[in-house]
């Protein structure tokens, strides 16, 4: 499978992580990259249950390799008061903020990102789910670069 670039379709293996409270003011390992480098072609969060409250909460994705230093996959986005159905996606440009849109649609990753063995973590600066009613599901799309490489739920 190949990446067809801007305006193209998402390609690769799809993995889904069940809905959970991940905007909780912590760093949470969401995915584990195993056995080699993978090309990340999509990383979507859906706020499936409940709206977020008024607590400021800067959220970003970070690649945390087994060897070497962590790198942000995007800059932070404050998800304060985001509504039910809000979707979030990275652009693939490491300096761009996480993109969040109200329910309906969100752009797809425009530049694939190579990630090495380790974890892909969601970093959440504040708990914007104090009522414990908001849940977020995460979907990832990727292609293995190295033979046997894969991404699994952490």
pLDDT in tens, 70-79: 999 999 998 8
Tell me what percent of the residues of the chain surpass a pLDDT of 90: 56
Q: Kindly indicate the confidence band of residue 85, based on its pLDDT and cuts at 50, 70 and 90.
A: confident
Lookup: tokens for 77 = 């986005």
Average pLDDT over residues 18-24: 82
Q: What are residue 22's phi and psi, to 5 degrees?
A: -105, -10
Degrees, nearest 5: CA angle 12-152-135: 100
- Distance in angstroms (rounded) separating the CA atoms of residues 90 and 74: 6
Name the residue ranges covered by the structural domains of the chain: 13-153
Global pTM? 0.87
């Amino acid at each position: 499978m190949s990446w067809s670039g801007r305006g193209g379709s998402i390609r690769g293996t799809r993995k889904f992580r069940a809905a959970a409270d991940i905007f909780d003011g912590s760093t949470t390992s969401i995915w584990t990259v195993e056995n080699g480098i993978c090309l990340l072609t999509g990383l979507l969060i859906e706020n499936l249950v409940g709206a977020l409250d008024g607590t400021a909460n800067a959220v970003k994705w970070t690649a945390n390799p087994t060897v070497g230093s962590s790198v942000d996959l995007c800059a932070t986005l404050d998800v304060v008061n985001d509504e039910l159905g809000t979707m979030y996606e990275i652009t693939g440009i490491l300096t761009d903020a996480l993109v969040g849109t109200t329910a309906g649609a969100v752009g797809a990753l425009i530049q694939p990102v190579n990630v090495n063995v380790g974890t892909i973590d969601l970093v959440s600066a504040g708990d914007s789910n104090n009522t414990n009613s908001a849940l977020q599901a995460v979907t990832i799309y990727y292609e293995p670069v190295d033979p046997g490489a894969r991404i699994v739920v952490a």
